[in-house]
């Protein structure tokens, strides 16, 4: 009974959204770690700027998708569901990027610290997050 009104406070709603998005971001980074052939955090620790760019783009992309989802959907479950759906589309875009570049392997180039490929990966993740976000809102 007391908890029914608890979720009505904007600060509680903001803290709930933040907590859920952080957990979803951690989950998405684990999934991206599985999808990519290199180890993101090992490469970043080594100073691989291309991996840092690609990973940063993924983080910004996921957060941007959830921003649209929070803005449009009223319930926590809806926000999370649409945000995760948007994340799946972002993974699909990453796989499509690899497929659309048959002259080289994106993961291999990023692992070799090819900053041009890392930057394009960053741009694709962030750019498509706006399209995905607008689509899910």
Helices (H) and strands (E) in the chain, counts: 7, 0
On whether the CB atoms of residues 133 and 90 are closer than 8 A, the answer is no
Q: Tens of pLDDT along 40-65?
A: 999 999 999 999 999 999 999 999 99
pLDDT value, residue 106: 94
pLDDT at 2 over 70: no
Angstrom distance (rounded) from CA 3 to CA 58 = 36
Angstrom distance (rounded) from CA 107 to CA 98 = 8
User: Token pair for residue 52?
Assistant: 């840092």
Q: How confident is the model at residue 75 (pLDDT cuts 50, 70, 90)?
A: confident
pLDDT value, residue 49: 98
What are the residue ranges spanned by the domains of the chain?
A: 9-136
Q: Tens of pLDDT along 81-118?
A: 999 999 999 999 988 998 899 899 999 999 999 999 99
Share of the chain above pLDDT 90, in %: 73
């Amino acid at each position: 009974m007391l908890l029914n009104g608890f979720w009505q406070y904007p600060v509680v709603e903001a803290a709930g959204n933040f907590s859920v998005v952080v957990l979803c971001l951690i989950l998405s980074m684990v999934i991206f770690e599985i999808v990519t052939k290199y180890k993101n955090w090992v490469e970043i620790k080594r100073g691989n700027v291309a991996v840092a760019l690609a990973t940063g783009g993924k983080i910004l992309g996921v957060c941007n998708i959830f921003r649209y989802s929070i803005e449009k959907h009223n319930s926590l479950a809806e926000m999370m569901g649409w945000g995760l759906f948007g994340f799946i589309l972002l993974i699909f875009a990453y796989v499509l990027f690899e497929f659309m570049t048959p002259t080289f392997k994106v993961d291999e180039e990023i692992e070799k610290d090819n900053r041009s490929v890392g930057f394009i990966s960053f741009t694709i993740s962030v750019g498509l997050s706006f399209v995905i976000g607008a689509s899910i809102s």
